[in-house]
Chain A
Amino acid sequence: MPVKWLLYWQPSTGSTVSSQTLVDVMKSIESINGVRTGRWQVTASNHRPIQRDQSMGLPQDCARELLGLTFSEVPSKHYFILRGEHMVVEAHANMQNIMEKLQLYRNRLNIFFEGFQYQLGDFQLKAGRAVLAHSENLRGIVLEVEYVPVSSLEQTRLLLQEFVEMWQEVVTAQNMAGRFTPLEPNYSDYNLPDQYSWQHTALQYVNLMVYFLHAQRN
């Protein structure tokens, strides 16, 4: 699977993120001959444990938070992330039905990442917004960069860095006040290998969901 880098829009001091930012990003991609190829969506969900008896407290060794991910590109899979336990789990989408039956964790909130994808030579770009489900409250703007020919994280590192720098020049030329920044991926903490997979992608989106929710609180 090709390596993907997930970036988020960091506005310059004094400016804010708005829906217009996404429109400008898409115009920027089209300005360098990016071809729109379709829509995409990622759903990230946050769950908290259900206790039978509130006065008893939870068992010490059980996860306090369960995060879930689904990708429109792989509807047959569902991903779970336990941040406290540093674990990424890949399961068949049926696992969601099992979790509903078990009634162990309650869904607290969902964030949708959604937008359009573009082909640009060997790169595939996905530009989109992060919104809270039901409220349409904008949490951020994201850009996923995928280098199609290579699956090794190590081999693509320099190349993707160069792409991000080139991309910043495009953004600056469009007079957009801000820059796209990657969140430092912590793959080794989760024992994820060098060969890139959907599990790596799931971790990146979860990190970004947590970042957006945290940024809003501050």
Chain B
Amino acid sequence: MECIVQGILETQYVDALEVLLQGLCGGLRETLKVHEFYLKSGNNMGSVSSELNLCCSLSGPQPVWTVRHVGGPMRGAASDQLSALVRSIFEADISNNGLRFLYALGYKLDYEILRTGFSFCFQRVVPITVKVSCICRLPKLHAIDEAVPVTPTLYLVEVFAPASADNYAEVVAAISSFAEFLAPLLHLSKPGVFTGVVPTAATAAASLISRAALK
């Protein structure tokens, strides 16, 4: 299970966000370069149709393959009151023949993207991860060297943390309080709830960059 909020940030303010995150975190920046495959189950396979995400992280010396299954969000009146989306998520590392394996189980490639950017991890009540990424489409099958940003002027920012049925309210509160630090630069909301860019971003970014330059 995970709790997640997300928002968008204009590309020109990404450096300022990085300065802010660096200041909050103390330097545990990780580079992101992930080839993501979105797969759908084939006709008549399985008792229900399903979707699966296979990620190949290319930021380390060796590619790391991970299967992700994102479940439906928590529903009901109580979840409406939460400021973050709570959803089930399962992840499992898999050997480098994972894509061929999933094809053999009847999955078909729906689409693929390349995600580039960076992430920070913060230890609060739980480890909170902030992922700042540019989403690129691939004009040809698997051609990550020819990847083109889907929205060149915008970056996706995701803030998420692992949770359980016992502690998700506490985790949501931790994420919300963390999101306040980022509020001058961007709005964070539940996935699917579009909140746009914030008017204070330019001023906040200028201030962060000038302070970073002074150090």
Contact = CB atoms under 8 A, between A and B. Distances in A.
Interface range for B: 20 to 34
B198 interface: no
A4 to B, nearest CB: 19
A56 B92 contact: no
A148 interface: no
A104 B50 contact: yes
B95 A89 contact: yes
Given A59-B106, A102-B46, A95 B92 contact: yes
B46 A94 contact: no
Given A49-B45, A98-B52, 9 more contacts: A52-B49, A57-B44, A62-B42, A87-B100, A89-B94, A89-B97, A91-B95, A95-B92, A98-B92
Contacts of A103: 46-48, 50
B104 interface: yes
A73 interface: no
B64 to A, nearest CB: 11
A216 to B, nearest CB: 27
B45 A98 contact: no
B43 interface: yes
A94 B104 CA distance: 19
A87 B41 CA distance: 20
Contact of A92 (B48, B50, B94, B100): B94
Contact of B43 (A56, A90, A91, A93): A56
Given A66-B105, A101-B71, A102-B50, A52 B92 contact: no
A112 interface: no
B95 to A, nearest CB: 4
Contacts of B106: 49, 58-59, 61-63, 104
Contacts of A80: 101
A1 interface: no
Given A56-B43, A62-B106, A102-B46, A91 B97 contact: no
A87 B48 contact: no
Interface of A: 49-53, 56-59, 61-63, 66, 80, 82, 85, 87, 89-95, 97-98, 101-105, 199
A198 B54 CA distance: 23
A102 B101 contact: no
A203 B129 CA distance: 38
B67 interface: yes
29 contacts: A49-B45, A49-B106, A50-B47, A51-B45, A56-B43, A59-B43, A61-B104, A61-B106, A62-B42, A62-B105, A63-B105, A63-B106, A80-B101, A89-B101, A90-B94, A90-B95, A91-B95, A94-B90, A94-B92, A95-B67, A95-B94, A98-B92, A102-B50, A103-B46, A103-B47, A103-B48, A104-B41, A104-B105, A104-B106
A93 B90 CA distance: 11
A91 B93 contact: yes
B98 interface: yes
Interface in B10-50: 41-50
B44 A89 contact: no
A120 B95 CA distance: 33
